[in-house]
A and B are shown apart, each in its own frame.
Chain A
């Protein structure tokens, strides 16, 4: 290790000088190999060219962006923002209209409900009154018929009762005839029936 490092130290200056010599030679010989010597980004030989082309390209780029791109993109964004706010306004307006329509509808509905109730009530009352009159009329007719029927029944009953007496007298005379064998007078039998029926 020691030997090699010492050897390296010894030989290094020689290598350096030879390298420097060749570099110097190339420098004096041609102008191109500066690229091989300096670190390229720090090579001043390239500065004028790079600065000039930077100025040209960046200048054109700046002008292009300023004249064309910025107005265009800015315009697109502005138009969109306008459109959005406009749409929002319109949406708010439409919402107001919708709200008003809903309110009107609610009001109409309430009114209609009220009207419907009134109409229903009225119809109900009318129907009830009609039914009531009809019922009264029928009742009156029935009462009349009932009276008639009762009168007929009582007349029929009276007739029947009247006939009951004569039937009893006939029956009694027949029984007396069968039992006693004699004839009872009509007046006697009538008196007897009357006393029994009494």
Chain B
């Protein structure tokens, strides 16, 4: 049991809360699903309740909602122009979902939804899927110009196209792995340092004195993780904006 507590991987375990099985697939309601629901409820409730007064002069909480709205709106406008604003609800919900999931994960004993590769990959695949579908819908085969940059000598073209295709295909991978790896590594590090505190302080007075350093590290890492939680949500949203820009304007 003690080893279980210190085990840094333990926090990523999926626990079935309500077993559900549909068509041979295990789609149980797990702790992961619970925290997805919690993320959605917290984010939606915050956005809804803080703006319910619709004050002309916003209070602190309403300011946070408006700031996040305008933050994402400016991000999208800068990256993809005013045409990109039709994707605003999508980018805004991605940003809020990832941000709130990351922040909720920082609470002790809470599950971090974004520390599972399948979740981040699902979101990244949604982004790339939107880019591909919208790109072909809007430009038809002209969307393939994305892979053919202007002003490249003909003899280099096959190589460049190959590189472009590879870079495009690796986008969902890099997008999902970046978020997943950051959250995973951060939580493992936090857990390892907190584990040091627990196991060292079990050794008596010397151990308690020695556990001050990992405790300080854990505190500092928590602050760092707070930054990472925001930063990764921001990076995810910015990259989404840039990929959407490719769908809107395929010719570089």
The reply to whether B33 and A58 contact each other, CB–CB distance below 8 Å, is: no
Q: How many A-B residue pairs have CB under 8 A?
A: 126
A36-44, A134-142, A185-193 - the one binding chain B: A36-44
How close is B100's CB to chain A, nearest CB, in angstroms?
9
- Asked whether, in the complex, the Cβ of A41 is within 8 Å of the Cβ of B116, the reply is yes
Please report which residues of chain B, range 215-231, place their CB below 8 angstroms from some CB of chain A when the two chains form the complex: none
How far is A73 from B115 in the complex, measured between Cα atoms in Å?
Answer: 30
Q: By the criterion CB–CB under 8 Å, are B9 and A40 in contact? A: yes
- Describe B's contact surface by its main secondary structure: helix
Binary interface encoding of chain B residues 10-37 relative to chain A, with 1 for a CB under 8 A from any of its CBs, else 0? 0011100000100001111110110011
Q: Across the interface, which residues of B come within 8 angstroms of A54, CB to CB?
A: 36, 119, 122-123
Cβ of A21 to closest chain B Cβ, rounded Å: 21
- How far is A83 from B54 in the complex, measured between Cα atoms in Å? 13
Q: Closest CB-CB distance, A156 to chain B, in whole Å?
A: 105
Which residue of B14, B51, B122, B180 contacts A51 across the interface (Cβ within 8 Å)? B122
Chain A residues near B119: list those with CB within 8 A. 50, 54
A68 within 8 A of B: yes
The answer to whether B40 and A60 touch across the interface, beta carbons within 8 angstroms, is: yes
Q: Which of B86-94, B160-168, B191-199, B204-212 sits within the interface?
A: B86-94
Which of chain A's residues have a CB closer than 8 A to the CB of B12? 39-41
- CB <8 Å contact, B37 and A57: yes
A residues near B65, Cβ cutoff 8 Å: 73
A53 CB contacts on chain B under 8 angstroms: 27, 29-30, 32-33, 36-37
| Interchain CA distance A49-B17 in the complex, whole Å | 12
- Separation of A54 and B32 alpha carbons in the complex (Å): 9
Asked whether B32 lies within 8 Å of A50 as measured between CB atoms, the reply is yes
Assess the B89–A70 pair: CB atoms within 8 A. yes
- The segment from B42-50, B147-155, B235-243 found at the interface with A is B42-50
Docked Cα-Cα span, A142 to B180, in Å, equals 123
Asked whether A170 is an interface residue with its Cβ less than 8 Å from the other chain, the reply is no
- Which of A42, A58, A77 contacts B69, CB < 8 Å? A77
Q: Which residues of chain A are within 8 angstroms of B126 by Cβ–Cβ distance?
A: 58
A29 within 8 A of B: no
Chain A: minimal CB distance from B154 (Å): 43
Interface pair A76/B66, CB less than 8 Å apart:
yes
Q: Per-residue CB proximity of A23-38 to B under 8 Å, as 1/0?
A: 0000000000001000
Chain B residue, CB-CB nearest to A40: B12
Which chain A residues border B66 with CB–CB below 8 Å?
Answer: 73, 76-77
Which of A39, A50, A64, A68 is in CB contact (< 8 Å) with B30? A50
Partner of A45, one of B26, B90, B93, B180: B26
B202 at the interface (CB under 8 A from A): no
Chain A residue at minimum C-beta to C-beta distance from B183: A41
Instruction: State which of A50, A57, A72, A83 has its C-beta within 8 Å of the C-beta of B40.
Output: A57
Chain B CB within 8 A of A65 CB = yes
Indicate with 1 or 0, residue by residue over B55-81, a CB within 8 angstroms of chain A CB atoms.
110100010011001100000000000
Name the distance in Å between A50's Cβ and chain B's nearest Cβ. Answer: 5
| A123 to B58 alpha-carbon distance, docked (Å) | 66
* Min distance, Cβ B48 to any Cβ of chain A, angstroms: 7
Q: Which residues of B contact A79 (CB under 8 A)?
A: 54, 56
Nearest residue, chain B, Cβ from A39: B9
B96 at the interface (CB under 8 A from A): yes
| Contact present for A65 and B96 (CB under 8 Å) | yes
Cβ of A127 < 8 Å from any Cβ of B? no
Chain B residue, CB-CB nearest to A55: B122
Whole-angstrom distance between the alpha carbons of A53 and B26 in the complex? 12
Check B33–A72 contact: CB distance below 8 A. no
- The complex places the Cα of A35 from the Cα of B11 at a distance, in Å, of 12
Beta-carbon contact of B93 and A58 below 8 Å: yes
CA distance A41 to B54 in the complex (A): 41
The 7 A-B pairs at the shortest CB distance, nearest first, are namely: A53-B33, A66-B89, A57-B36, A40-B12, A48-B25, A61-B40, A46-B14
4 other A-B residue contacts (CB within 8 Å) besides A41-B115, A53-B27: A46-B30, A52-B27, A53-B37, A77-B69
